[in-house]
Structure 1
Amino acid sequence: MSGAAASRWLDQLETDGYCIIRDLLPRESVAALDTDLAPAFDAAPLGNGDFYGYRTKRFGSLLRRSRRAADLALQPLVLELARAILGSACERIQLNVAQAIAIHPGEIEQFPHRDDDMWPAHKGEHEYLLNVIWPLTDFTAMNGATRIYPGSHKAVVEDLGQLGAPVVAEARPGDAICFLGSTVHGAGPNRTDAARRGVVIGYSLGWLKPYENNWLAYPPEVARRFSPELAELAGYTQHRPNLGNYEGQCPSILLRGDTPEYPQATDALRPDQQAAVRDFAEAQRSQP
């Protein structure tokens, strides 16, 4: 995908708060992922709550349930967009969630919401999150396709009546439905006789507490099988200064298999911080 194409999608995300990128992955690879996840879809219980839904199934930890989930999480264009949107406010992005969702017949429309409301912080200066929904089955207006409210990422919404009409994100396996954490959206009702299945891969600022606890979802014995890039997304890295460390070290040392009992605490500072600390320390050492 050319840089010009990436710029096009970035412009749409910034203008409308969402975009749908058609045929970003082969349908065959998405079908294979759906097959891998079928046992979990069968075993997972229906939800319990007015937000999660009573006719909807959800489960996470996708990177350990199927090796094909990594193809979604590491899709180059999506990562380029995520880093462009989030990179002004963090040194590195992280995996916020890797979750499968099945909306079963009879489910009602989900409450329209912004995903960045999970963090009780000031909004408007930068984005906190980019979500990507990958359909595993066709998304239609009848089976619960996500409803997205264009331009809502720029609006102050105090009442649902202000939202206007949503766009129904109809899509097929292989398509990527991308939207900002500040964009109001919600799953539609399923009025068919079959479940609508999809996967949500979300990316957030590297210094935020993520929606999914990645170190529990992917403990070291699991993450050792990841590529370095995937392990970093899953939290096995530090965000300067020193955030997310293990015993004063980058937590990637846990993936080597030879972690010392007492690792050596080592600075992981931003360049400006490193320079300030070094100048101060050298001045102290030079004193008689």
Structure 2
Amino acid sequence: MSDIKSIDWLERLQKDGYCIIPDLLPQSSIAALDADLERDFTETPMGHGDFYGFRTKRFGSLLRRSRWACDLVLQPLILSLAREVLGKACDRIQLNVAQAIAIHPGEIEQFPHCDHDMWEGAKGEHEYLLNVIWPLTDFSSSNGATRIYPGTHKRPVESLDQLGDPMVAESRPGDAICFLGSTVHGAGPNSTEDVRRGVVIGYSLGWLKPYENLWLAYPPEVARNFPPELAELAGYAQHRPNLGNYEGQCPSILLREDVANYPQATDALRPEQLAAVHEFAEARRSKR
């Protein structure tokens, strides 16, 4: 999965529900991303709500705000972890969110939660998503570093009293804080005079409705400039059978210049479905 020496990050994820991979991207790349987002951080208003926070700023659509965001989404080790974690329950993974978050002085601790609770489906048989937080500034116990509750991905949590003590994800730009959608976590309080900035990149099962509306965030005129793998993660791909199609075709046709006025609807089925449908159709055709 990776050439990072002798550390099985997947094993750590599965055992503890999280892992922090140090120095995964150059600090210079993170600094360039942070600089590109400076105006967005300035202009975005504070959130409104006890979950989003009243002293926290959030905005998405990062792939059209900075070319450096692509490096985070397509980081090879992270993608391999996402596919290992999610691939047994889907045909392909998708981008779930690319969001910047700034926790300002005076913000309180965020409600501890599991991100997979945004979907109502049954839990426990498989993971729904993998999140990765990339610090843009140093994360410390006093400025709002994410608090993660190890092992909560393996047991139901019915009360906050059951959580125990969190692990505070102290880290720096270039590190990657990875955690499962089933792991309880939440941002910490910011008792300093400084703003804690970070970016969360999330990957989910390809058949789920994503947290961020990808097609509004990255319409064809934007996604047309993406590398093919990035365009697929951003929604310009079908998930078999035929999910997310455009006029019966893969939506990636919208990234071409010569989109037909009347596309030809074409099957996109899983192998076992294709075989069953073909056998059925052949038998009916033979009776004509």
TM-score interval, normalised by the smaller of the two chains: over 0.9
Per the alignment, do residues 30 and 215 of structure 1 end up closer, same or farther by CA in structure 2, a change over 3 Å counting?
same
In structure 2, the residue corresponding to 1:199 is in which secondary structure?
strand
Counterpart position of 2:172: 172
Q: Which amino acid aligns with 1:112?
A: P
Match of 1:235 in 2: 235
Partner of residue 97, structure 2: 97
Letter in 1 for 2:210: P
Q: Equivalent residue for 1:163?
A: 163
Mapped contact 1:19–1:178 kept (Cα < 8 A): yes
User: Which residue identity is paired with 2:274?
Assistant: Q
Q: 1:54 to 1:149 in 2, by over 3 A?
A: same
Q: Secondary structure at the match of 1:277?
A: helix
Query: Matches of 1:84 and 1:5 in 2, distance apart?
Result: 19
Q: Does 1:266 align with 2:266?
A: yes
Aligned twin of 1:10: 10
- Map Cα deviations across residues 45-100 of structure 1 (whole Å, 9 max, x no partner): 00000000000000000000000000000000000000000000001000000000
The 5-angstrom pairing of residues 103-252 of structure 1 reads 103-252=103-252
Corresponding letter in the other structure for 2:278: R
Percent identical = 76
What is the CA–CA distance in structure 2 between the aligned matches of 1:155 and 1:23, rounded to whole Å?
Answer: 31
Once superposed, which parts of structure 1, at least 4 consecutive aligned residues long, lie more than 2 Å away? Answer: 1-7
Name the structure 2 match of 1:85. 85
Q: CA deviation at 1:3?
A: 5.7
Cα distance in 1 for residues equivalent to 2:217 and 2:2: 34
Name the count of aligned residue pairs.
Answer: 288
Matched residue SS, 2:8: helix
CA contact (8 A) 1:6 1:80 kept: no
Q: Give, in whole Å, the separation in 1 of the partners of 2:143 and 2:115.
A: 22
In structure 1, C-alpha distance between the alignment counterparts of 2:286 and 2:36, rounded to whole Å: 63
Distance of 1:244 and 1:104 partners within structure 2: 38
> Counterpart of 1:105 in 2: which secondary structure?
coil
Unaligned runs of 5+ in 2: none
Q: Contact between 2:2 and 2:77, CA under 8 Å: does it hold in 1?
A: no
In the aligned structure 2, how far is the partner of 1:4 from the partner of 1:101? Answer: 28
Where does residue 33 of structure 1 map in the other structure? 33
Q: Are residues 7 and 82 of structure 1, via their aligned partners in 2, closer, same or farther at CA, if it must alter by over 3 Å?
A: farther
Secondary structure of the structure 2 residue equivalent to 1:198? strand
> What is the Cα-based RMSD across aligned positions, in Å?
1.1
2-structure distance, mates of 1:7, 1:274: 40
How far off is 1:2 after superposition? 3.4
What secondary structure is seen at the aligned counterpart in 1 of 2:79?
A: helix
Q: Return the offset for 1:102.
A: 0.0
Query: What is the identity, as a one-letter code, of the residue corresponding to 1:266?
Result: T
Partner deviation per Cα, 1:17-72 (whole Å, 9 max, x = no partner): 00000000000110000000001000000000000000000000000000000000
TM, length-normalised to structure 1: 0.99
Kindly indicate whether the alpha-carbon contact (under 8 Å) linking 1:134 and 1:199 is maintained by their aligned counterparts in 2.
yes
Quote the Cα distance in structure 2 between the aligned partners of 1:3 and 1:138.
Answer: 26
Are the aligned partners of 2:112 and 2:184 in contact in 1 as well (CA < 8 Å)?
yes
- Does the 8 Å CA contact 1:6/1:81 hold for their aligned counterparts? no
TM-score by length of 2: 0.99
Residues 180-237 of structure 1 show CA distances to partners (whole Å, capped at 9, x for unaligned) of: 0000000000000011000000000000000000000000000000000000000000
SS for the counterpart of 2:139 is coil
